[in-house]
């Protein structure tokens, strides 16, 4: 189920390397640099050194095109990630870090994976430029992206701290938007956690009995934060969660997100892309504060895909749009930052009994499967993690 890794070194801001095997396929992938000129004879792409510390430390490498690859390219540094040392220490007896028994998960899990973006040198840019977004900067222009990266404040970590006067455990609930929550009456149980994560169209008003009313961390993209209120207005949505002191976490899924970030950090209207002239800070209900704003690192996003959710659809012609859902990234963010995690509103084995979203209370709708996500792979993973006691998955039956 999980992709295991080799030996790791413990050092400050270290890089580790492991095998590149698909987690759900018994056949091992070869780890080599893809020759893009075979699938696109017109592409003039040079070979890059396999040791990424020498991947052009002075200037940006030539831009790679997704069209040059018929499926996900496998570089020999595919499973190399930045890590921060040391990982958060915990005395919580129930902590995942202290009670992990699933050997497969234990080998795949990196407790100190780099979670958030900050500054970046040219070597890092060139390494990450081999990966498609949101896992890297393939097809992106260095100056366009760095315009926002250079503005990013140093993340204030850890993301969450134990509540004072408790047993020092950080207990978290991650609340998805699935219809299984409709009529669940899980609101009080959700709000009883130390912290509550939500994502996307997290409509709360009118649904508190089922989904709770607290939000500590809201995970989003530029697209989800701009479209959620508009698309869900008929269900009572007026704003994304904006609790006092809330922390916002952005998934940089495309160039439009870096345009968004530049406008946000400069507090100026966006000058390019689909949100041109928008004022991004106005979408956070008056709670935007750069000391409580985080941008997920490409290494973390790729780690989640490679080690836990490596879909077989990455071998298809549309491989470049295939990625875990925002909900999946949020679950793993919680697993990295909390001692215990409970997941509500995620797909379960009996998902066909429920509407697509919990806000759809009057008409039974069908779950929509979009091509860019492997929902069945995610459903199976949540059940496996639940059965292994790595998280607690809310299931109606």
Could you report the per-residue pLDDT of 96-137, keeping only the tens digit for each?
887 788 899 999 999 999 999 999 999 999 999 999 999 999
Largest interatomic CA distance in the chain: 64
Q: Rounded distance, CA 370 to CA 112, Å?
A: 32
Task: Classify residue 59: in a domain, yes or no.
Answer: no
Task: Classify residue 313: in a domain, yes or no.
Answer: yes
Measured in degrees and rounded to the nearest 5, phi and psi for residue 16 equal -120, 160
Length of the chain: 397
304: helix, coil or strand? helix
Say yes or no to pLDDT of 22 above 60.
Answer: no
When pLDDT is averaged across residues 52-68 and rounded to a whole number, the result is 79
pLDDT tens profile 258-286: 999 999 999 999 999 999 999 999 999 99
Helices 326-337, 375-387: axis angle to 10 degrees equals 30
Per-residue model confidence (pLDDT) at position 44: 31
Dihedral angle sign, alpha carbons of residues 28, 33, 38, 42: positive
The CATH number assigned to the domain holding 193 equals 3.90.1480.20
Per-residue model confidence (pLDDT) at position 308: 98
Say yes or no to pLDDT of 47 above 70.
Answer: no
Please provide the average confidence, as pLDDT, over all residues in the chain.
Answer: 87
- Ranges 17-21, 157-161, 207-211, 225-229, most confident: 207-211
Cis? peptide before 134, omega within 30° of 0: yes
% of the chain at pLDDT higher than 90: 73
C-alpha triplet 374, 376, 378: angle, nearest 5°? 70
Q: pLDDT-derived band of residue 142, with 50, 70 and 90 as boundaries?
A: very high
Burial environment of residue 295 by CB neighbours within 10 A (0 to 12, 13 to 18, 19 or more): buried
250: helix, coil or strand? strand
**Tokens, residue 313:** 């659809």
Task: Classify residue 45: in a domain, yes or no.
Answer: no
The beta strand positions in 134-175, using DSSP E, are: 171-175
Q: pLDDT-derived band of residue 397, with 50, 70 and 90 as boundaries?
A: confident
**Tokens, residue 340:** 């215990």
Burial environment of residue 246 by CB neighbours within 10 A (0 to 12, 13 to 18, 19 or more): buried
Which residue bears the tokens 């995690």? 341
Task: Classify residue 351: in a domain, yes or no.
Answer: yes
Q: pLDDT-derived band of residue 25, with 50, 70 and 90 as boundaries?
A: very low
Per-residue model confidence (pLDDT) at position 4: 63
**How many domains in the chain?**
1
Say yes or no to pLDDT of 66 above 50.
Answer: yes
Q: pLDDT-derived band of residue 57, with 50, 70 and 90 as boundaries?
A: low
User: Which domain range does residue 308 map to?
Assistant: 1-34+70-158+165-397
Q: pLDDT-derived band of residue 3, with 50, 70 and 90 as boundaries?
A: confident
pLDDT tens profile 360-375: 988 899 888 989 999 9
Question: SS3 for 64-80, per residue?
Answer: CCHHHCCCCCCCCCCCC
pLDDT tens profile 193-205: 999 999 998 999 9
Task: Classify residue 106: in a domain, yes or no.
Answer: yes
Task: Classify residue 136: in a domain, yes or no.
Answer: yes
Instruction: Decide which of 112 and 50 is more confident.
Output: 112
Task: Classify residue 153: in a domain, yes or no.
Answer: yes
pLDDT tens profile 286-325: 999 999 999 999 999 999 999 999 999 999 999 999 999 9
- Strand bridging mode 15-16 / 81-82: antiparallel
Task: Classify residue 65: in a domain, yes or no.
Answer: no
Q: How far is CA 187 from CA 201, 205, 212, 350, in A?
A: 17, 12, 4, 21
Measure CA 120 to chain center: 19
């Amino acid at each position: 189920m999980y992709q295991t890794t080799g030996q790791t070194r413990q050092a400050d801001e270290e890089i580790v390397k492991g095998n590149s095997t698909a987690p759900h396929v018994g056949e091992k992938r070869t780890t080599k640099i893809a020759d893009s000129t075979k699938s696109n004879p017109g592409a003039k792409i040079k070979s890059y050194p396999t040791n990424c510390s020498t991947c052009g430390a002075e200037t940006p490498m030539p831009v790679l095109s997704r069209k040059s690859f018929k499926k996900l390219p496998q570089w020999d540094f595919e499973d190399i990630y930045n890590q921060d040392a040391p990982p958060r220490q915990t005395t919580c007896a129930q902590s995942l870090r202290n009670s992990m028994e699933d050997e497969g998960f234990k080998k795949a899990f990196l407790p100190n994976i780099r979670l958030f973006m900050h500054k970046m040198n040219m070597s890092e840019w060139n390494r990450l430029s081999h990966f498609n977004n949101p896992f890297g900067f393939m097809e992106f222009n260095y100056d366009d992206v760095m315009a926002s990266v250079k503005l990013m404040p140093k993340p204030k970590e850890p993301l969450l701290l134990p509540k004072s006067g408790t047993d020092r455990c950080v207990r978290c609930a991650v609340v998805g938007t699935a219809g299984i929550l409709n009529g669940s009456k899980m609101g009080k149980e959700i709000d009883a956690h130390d912290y509550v994560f939500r994502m996307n169209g997290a409509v709360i008003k009118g649904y508190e009995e089922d989904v709770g009313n607290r939000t500590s961390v809201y995970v989003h993209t530029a697209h989800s934060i701009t479209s959620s209120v508009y698309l869900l207005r008929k269900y009572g949505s007026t704003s994304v969660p904006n609790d006092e002191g809330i922390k916002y976490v952005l998934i940089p899924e495309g160039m439009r997100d870096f345009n968004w970030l530049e406008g946000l950090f400069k507090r100026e209207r966006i000058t390019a892309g689909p949100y041109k002239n928008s004022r991004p800070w106005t979408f956070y209900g008056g709670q935007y504060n750069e000391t409580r704003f985080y941008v997920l690192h490409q290494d973390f996003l790729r780690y989640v895909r490679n080690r836990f959710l490596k879909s077989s659809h990455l071998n298809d012609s549309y491989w470049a749009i295939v990625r875990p859902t925002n909900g999946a990234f949020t679950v793993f963010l919680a697993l990295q930052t909390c001692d215990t995690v409970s997941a509500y509103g995620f797909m379960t084995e009996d998902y066909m009994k429920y509407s697509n979203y919990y806000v759809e209370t009057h008409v039974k709708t069908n779950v929509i499967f979009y091509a860019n996500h492997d929902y069945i792979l995610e459903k199976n993973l949540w059940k496996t993690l639940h059965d292994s006691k790595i998280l607690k998955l809310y299931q109606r039956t």
